[in-house]
Amino acid sequence: MPKVKIKRQSTIVDMTAMTDVSFLLLTFFILTAKFRPAQPVIIDMPSSESEKIVPENLLVISVDKEGLVYYTIDNPKVRVATLQQLIQRYGDNYPVLKTLTDKQIANFANVQMWGNDIAMLPQILNKEPDEVNASGTFKGVPIDSANNQLRDWIQAGRWADQIDRQETGADRPDVRVAIKGDKTSSIKTIQDVIKILTAEPVNIHTFNLITTLEGSTSASKEVEVGADPAKTE
């Protein structure tokens, strides 16, 4: 008995709906994507085999290859609150702080990295955001014993973080301090930063060192320094 041959029929799949969905998804990702902002200062971090991921809610102190020091808080709201705390608590030490307008204070949210004398705040905050964060704008936060502005920025940032947690009811740990140094940074500058962290009134003896994990991923190593900063190596 001969086999019954089944007539072959072409299968037509309508891809219109799938194409529409693909373009909708593509449009969504394009509109919601946030590009990484240009870094005002390039820090070429040393490599490390540490597998500990950089923690969130960081207060970062960066040291570039020239030995200049920079101060960063990621959260724009906490950034503005930091400047407000600086004005409230250190306004008598830095009279220029009391001259800042509300608009200038609000503009501090656009300052991704601060690295200058406090006296330069009015001039910097009158610029457009792209000019504020342009390479070459900052000359380093003073850290010498006669003009230790880094210590005051750190304290203001910690107070601002506490206020933000109280206002938002966020269940998270205190802001974490980290040092990010260029691989060619002066060891003396790093030591000076550590002495500022461990001395009164800051009194921080546990912090993170940010490096580049083999494979270019940011990693960190937790460091604990004894109470005597003079013994720090």
Residue 232: pLDDT above 60?
Answer: no
Residue 230 binned pLDDT confidence (cut-offs 50, 70, 90): very low
Given this model, what pLDDT does residue 24 score? 78
User: If you average pLDDT over residues 180-207, what whole number do you get?
Assistant: 90
pLDDT averaged over every residue in the chain: 80
115, 40 Cβ separation under 8 angstroms:
yes
Given this model, what pLDDT does residue 9 score? 63
Whole-model pTM? 0.73
How far is 79 from 16, CA to CA, in rounded Å?
48
Residue 218: pLDDT above 60?
Answer: no
139, 69 Cβ separation under 8 angstroms:
no
| More confident site: 184 or 101 | 101
